[in-house]
């Protein structure tokens, strides 16, 4: 059973995130910050604060004691959802690769870094932070690479079709992004290939381009470097010197506050919160807060995950949509309105829903 005091701890963990977001929102609305000034803060978050936070999180996590069952459940959830969407895209008339990417992102990519770590720590203590870090590693090293691969594949396909003098489908090539709360800094809008090619590009070539593109994102670098460091450090018992760790943390501590501030500033710069219509907004919320966690629950049972690990897995699957998912949707112009709605509305809806999952899972224990 969940006690009132543990529920209060959860609210205590979530409140500061929303306070920082509200401050960002109010600051822009009251014109205390210009859009350019917000872009500066946002740039700092994306280029320095979040990557340093990710590096610190991953580098201090022992990769040899990762919970394989936990990661298997997380992986199975994503594979099940991807397979179901792929089957639907193949056999349905309405299916398209664009929708596969959108629905996959909505259902499987929660905000792990800014919200996941502090909220889960509030719920299940410091041990859950460790589990979240393991999910962050996979998110950056596997799943975002896959998402970008699919985007690039689609862009290549569309470009090929255009070459064949066919009318282009809804989604088109990449363009650069500057408003989003956490942008893919350094990503080169010209990197997507195939626009110039006349022959159908191979899957291998597209994969190379996707990896190249994802490697331009500081957070990916940070994940890989952190993983590399942790593999060496925990193998040979090397400890990061306090002087270096403190030098990293003086910047990384700002990531969550500034990140949520940026999300709030991003909201304030939008004309409406729901830009994709109510039907699609509801669809987005169902994918995020119902399909994602339920498939996670099923996957957890399938691999035999139990107790607090199961709870952490399901609750993190019910967090708001990752801001980076919106950034890519905007960059490739594939349903950015749905993803923006998913991020913004999701943040509000997640307060009761995440707590509801927390309470329900607590009952079951």
User: Is 92 among the residues that bind a second copy (CB under 8 A)?
Assistant: no
CB of 240 to a second copy, least distance (A): 13
* Bridge partners for 321 per DSSP: 110
Minimum CB separation from a second copy for residue 105, in Å? 27
Q: Does 221 bind a second copy (CB under 8 A)?
A: no
Q: Is 54 in the site for a second copy (CB under 8 A)?
A: no
CA 283, 286, 289, 294 dihedral sign is negative
Interaction of residue 3 with a second copy, rule CB under 8 A: no
Tokens of 129: 């932070």
Of 44, 140, 328, 358, which one interacts with a second copy (CB under 8 A)?
44
Q: Is 264 in the site for a second copy (CB under 8 A)?
A: no
| Cα–Cα dist 209/213, whole Å | 6
**How far apart are CB 101 and a second copy at their closest, in Å?**
30
Kindly report the number of other CB atoms within 10 A of residue 59's CB atom. 24
Tell me: does residue 242 bind a second copy (CB under 8 A): yes
Is the Cα torsion angle 63, 64, 68, 70 positive or negative in sign? negative
Nearest distance, CB of residue 246 and a second copy, angstroms: 4
316 token code pair: 């993190």
Rule CB under 8 A: choose which of 6, 163, 249, 275 binds a second copy: 249
The helix (run of H) or strand (run of E) holding residue 353 is: helix 336-364
Query: How far apart, in Å, are the Cα atoms of 336 and each of 27, 288, 330?
Result: 24, 16, 5
Q: Does 48 bind a second copy (CB under 8 A)?
A: yes
Closest distance between a second copy and the C-beta of residue 184, in Å?
15
Residue length of the chain: 365
Residues in CB range of 97: below 8 A, 6 or more apart: 89, 150, 153, 154, 157
Can you tell me which of 2, 7, 23, 308 binds a second copy, judged by CB under 8 A? 23
Interface residue with a second copy, options 261, 309, 357, 358 (CB under 8 A): 261
Rounded to whole angstroms, the Cα distance separating 24 from 21 reads: 5
The answer to the question of residue 125 lying near a second copy (CB under 8 A) is no
Summarize as ranges the residues that interact with a second copy (CB under 8 A).
11-12, 15-17, 19-20, 23, 27, 32-34, 36-41, 43-44, 47-48, 242-243, 246-247, 249-251, 253-254, 256-258, 260-261
């Amino acid at each position: 059973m969940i006690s009132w005091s543990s529920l209060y701890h959860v609210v205590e963990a979530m409140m500061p995130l929303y306070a920082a977001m509200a401050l960002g929102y109010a600051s822009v609305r009251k014109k205390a910050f210009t859009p350019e000034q917000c872009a500066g803060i946002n740039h700092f978050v994306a280029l320095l604060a979040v990557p340093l936070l990710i590096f610190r999180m991953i580098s201090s996590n022992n990769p040899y004691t990762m919970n394989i069952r936990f990661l298997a459940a997380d992986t199975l959830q994503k594979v099940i959802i991807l397979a179901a969407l792929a089957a639907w895209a193949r056999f349905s008339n309405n299916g398209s690769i664009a929708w596969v990417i959108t629905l996959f992102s909505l259902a499987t990519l929660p905000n792990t870094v800014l919200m996941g770590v502090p909220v889960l720590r509030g719920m299940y203590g410091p041990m859950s932070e460790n589990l979240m870090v393991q999910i962050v590693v996979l998110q950056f090293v596997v799943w975002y690479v896959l998402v970008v691969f699919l985007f690039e594949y689609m862009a290549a396909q569309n470009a090929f079709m255009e070459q064949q003098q066919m009318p282009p489908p809804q989604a088109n090539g990449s363009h650069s992004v500057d408003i989003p709360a956490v942008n893919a800094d350094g990503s080169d809008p010209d990197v997507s290939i195939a626009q110039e090619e006349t022959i159908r590009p191979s899957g291998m070539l597209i994969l190379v381009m996707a990896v190249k593109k994802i490697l331009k994102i500081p957070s990916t670098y940070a994940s890989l470097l952190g993983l590399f460091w942790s593999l060496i450090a925990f193998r040979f018992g090397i400890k990061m010197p306090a002087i270096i760790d403190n030098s990293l943390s003086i910047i990384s501590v700002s990531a969550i506050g500034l990140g949520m501030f940026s999300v709030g500033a991003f909201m304030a710069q939008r004309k409406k919160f729901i830009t994709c219509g109510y039907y699609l907004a509801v669809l987005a919320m169902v994918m995020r807060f119902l399909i994602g966690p339920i498939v996670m629950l099923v996957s957890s049972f399938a691999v035999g995950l139990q107790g607090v690990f199961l709870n952490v897995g399901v609750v993190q699957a019910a967090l708001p949509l990752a801001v980076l998912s919106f950034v890519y949707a905007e960059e490739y112009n594939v349903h950015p309105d749905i993803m923006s709605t998913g991020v913004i509305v999701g943040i509000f809806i997640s307060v009761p829903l995440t707590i509801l999952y927390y309470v329900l899972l607590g009952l079951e224990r």
